[in-house]
Amino acid sequence: MASVVQFENVGLRYGTGAETLSDISFALPRGAFTFLTGPSGAGKTSLLRLLYLAQRPSRGIIRLFDEDIVTAPRDRLPGFRRRIGVVFQDFRLVPYLTVYDNIALPLRVASVSEREVPRLVNEMLGWVGLTARATARPATLSGGEQQRVAIARAVITRPDLLIADEPTGNVDPEMAQRLLALFDTLNRMGTTIIVATHDIHLLRTVVGAKTMRLDRGRLDGPPMPDPSIVAAAR
């Protein structure tokens, strides 16, 4: 099975200090669902930044969609980014746009027909429970509502790769389960998903998901299967 993501001996250093990430090697096959865990300061956010092309590694090889993105010219990076959905921990909503227009933004960037935009956005608003907030601005939303807008915006184009940094950190348990169900549905449609989380309870929510654990900038062993599956097999 082809890998959507492949890291080979990747290292990342900021300035002249010690490496933040060291000797990172893993592959995510197409359609994989992977949780990224580890203590605060382990390097999870840095690894995600490499995945969504906000940072280039100090050494090693990174391939996305079977192409080496470390040596790719910068004018090709926007094409890669259009295939990636990102849920940022700090949301990064456009403050002067409504909830509706924040969610619609990726569709418009991708030149989706304006006749299709209302159907797609309204469907997503219903899924994340924000239909009544469609005309609101981000500043008037709660943290949990902003989180849901950020998730809806990231998944509305059905990206090939979805990267989520603590996507359920500001919502109640019921909404967290609903959002994970949305991710699971997207995954079943072929999207490769990697979710960074501190919440160990999430690791049991997606059947077939694997877990990668970072510790002090290094991967602690290969991706592990969902612990509930391991227990069931015993």
C-alpha closest to that of 141 among 171, 116, 110 = 171
Average pLDDT over residues 115-144: 95
With H, G, I as helix, E, B as strand and everything else as coil, classify residue 162.
strand
Gap between the Cα atoms of 18 and 16, Å rounded: 7
Pairing label, strands 33-37, 192-196:
parallel
Domain count along the chain: 2
State the pLDDT confidence band at 177, using cuts at 50, 70 and 90: confident
Task: Identify whether residues 97 and 129 lie together within a single domain.
Answer: yes
Task: Identify whether residues 77 and 165 lie together within a single domain.
Answer: yes
Task: Identify whether residues 71 and 184 lie together within a single domain.
Answer: yes
Task: Identify whether residues 111 and 144 lie together within a single domain.
Answer: yes
Task: Identify whether residues 65 and 167 lie together within a single domain.
Answer: yes
Task: Identify whether residues 10 and 99 lie together within a single domain.
Answer: no
Scan for tokens 């926007």, then name that residue: 78
Scan for tokens 């159907």, then name that residue: 119
State the pLDDT confidence band at 199, using cuts at 50, 70 and 90: confident
pTM of the model: 0.87
- 26: domain range? 1-83+161-234
Cβ burial, residue 142 (10 Å; 0-12/13-18/19+) = exposed
Whether 108 shows a pLDDT value over 80: the answer reads yes
